[in-house]
C-alpha cells in the first residue's frame, strides 16, 4: 500500500511541504506577504495616490508595500482594513514618500497605451473619442517619408482618418489638421491624467488640484 502523497510546492529550486488546507496560490511570494501574512492580491493592487516628500503627486499604483517597508507614510485612508494572520493594516488611499525623489522630466515610456492616454483616447484629426481598441496610431510624418516613431510624430487616430491621410503630409491636405501639437508624455501630462482619474475620489482632490481648482 503506497503512502499518501504530501502536497508540495517548488520554491527556489527546493520542495517545501504546504501547510494543511493551503494551496500553491496561498504561498507567500512577496516581501509584503512574508512580513505581514498573506493578503489577497486584488487588495494589494488597489490604486493608491503616491506623493513625493514635497506632497507633489508622482504616481498612481498599488503601493501598500511602500508603507510596510517604511519608505512612505499614509496620508489618507480608504476606510477598509486588510486582515492577515498576525496583523491588521489600514488600506491607504494616499501615501507620501519619506525621502524626496527626483523625478525626471520624461516619466513614461513611449508606447501605444501612453500615446492614447496622452491624447485622451481622442482622434487628433476629427476629435472623436473612442475606446482604445477602436483607435490606431498615426505617424504625422509618414514612415515612408522619413517619419520616426517619437512622441512628437505619433498621435491617436481613428481608422477613418488614418485611411484618409494615408502616406500624405498634412500640408498636402486641405481638410485635415492636428487638434494640438503632439508632445512627450511629461510629468505635467501625468499630473493632468492623475487629476482626471482622481476626480471621483474626494480624498485625492486636495493633492491633485491646486488652489485655483484647475489643472496646472
pLDDT score of 107: 55
pLDDT score of 16: 34
The architecture that CATH gives domain 112-172 is Orthogonal Bundle (1.10)
Q: Tell me the sheet residues that pair with 73.
A: 96
Give CA–CA dist 36/39, Å, rounded: 8
pLDDT score of 43: 56
pLDDT score of 7: 43
Q: Per 3-state DSSP, what percentage of the chain is helix, strand, and coil (rounded to 5)?
A: 30, 25, 50
DSSP output for 76-134: EEEEEEEE-SS-EEEEEEEEEESS--PPPSB-S---HHHHHHHTTTB-TTT--B--GGG
Let me know how long the chain is. Answer: 216
Q: Which residue has the cell 516628500?
A: 53
Grouping H, G, I as helix, E, B as strand and the rest as coil, residue 15 is: strand
Structure letter (DSSP) for residue 122:
B
Give CA–CA dist 171/2, Å, rounded: 81
Q: Which residues contact 109 (CB under 8 A, 6 or more apart)?
A: none
Local confidence pLDDT in tens for the 216 residues of the chain = 554 444 443 333 333 333 333 333 333 334 444 343 444 445 556 788 899 998 888 888 877 888 888 999 999 988 778 776 677 778 898 999 999 988 766 557 889 988 998 898 999 999 999 999 999 999 999 999 999 999 999 999 999 999 999 999 999 998 999 999 998 877 777 777 777 776 667 888 888 764 333 333
CATH 1.10.30.50 in the chain, residue ranges: 112-172
pLDDT score of 139: 97
Amino acid at each position: 500500500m503506497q503512502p499518501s502523497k504530501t502536497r508540495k510546492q517548488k520554491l527556489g529550486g527546493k520542495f517545501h511541504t504546504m501547510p494543511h488546507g493551503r494551496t500553491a496560490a496561498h504561498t507567500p511570494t512577496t516581501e509584503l506577504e512574508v512580513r505581514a501574512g498573506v493578503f489577497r492580491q486584488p487588495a494589494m493592487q488597489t490604486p493608491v495616490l503616491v506623493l513625493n516628500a514635497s506632497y507633489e503627486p508622482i504616481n498612481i499604483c498599488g503601493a501598500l508595500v511602500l508603507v510596510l517597508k517604511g519608505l512612505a507614510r499614509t496620508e489618507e485612508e480608504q476606510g477598509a482594513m486588510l486582515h492577515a494572520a498576525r496583523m491588521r493594516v489600514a488600506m491607504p488611499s494616499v501615501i507620501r514618500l519619506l525621502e524626496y525623489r527626483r523625478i525626471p522630466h520624461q516619466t513614461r515610456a513611449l508606447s501605444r497605451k501612453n500615446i492614447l492616454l496622452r491624447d485622451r483616447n481622442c482622434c487628433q484629426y476629427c476629435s472623436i473619442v473612442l475606446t482604445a481598441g477602436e483607435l490606431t496610431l498615426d505617424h504625422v510624418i509618414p514612415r515612408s517619408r522619413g517619419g520616426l516613431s517619437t512622441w512628437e510624430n505619433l498621435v491617436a487616430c481613428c481608422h477613418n482618418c488614418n485611411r484618409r491621410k494615408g502616406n500624405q503630409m498634412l500640408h498636402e491636405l486641405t481638410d485635415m489638421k492636428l487638434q494640438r501639437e503632439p508632445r512627450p508624455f511629461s510629468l505635467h501630462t501625468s499630473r493632468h491624467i492623475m487629476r482626471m482619474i482622481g476626480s471621483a475620489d474626494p480624498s485625492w482632490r486636495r493633492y491633485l488640484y491646486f488652489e485655483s481648482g484647475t489643472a496646472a
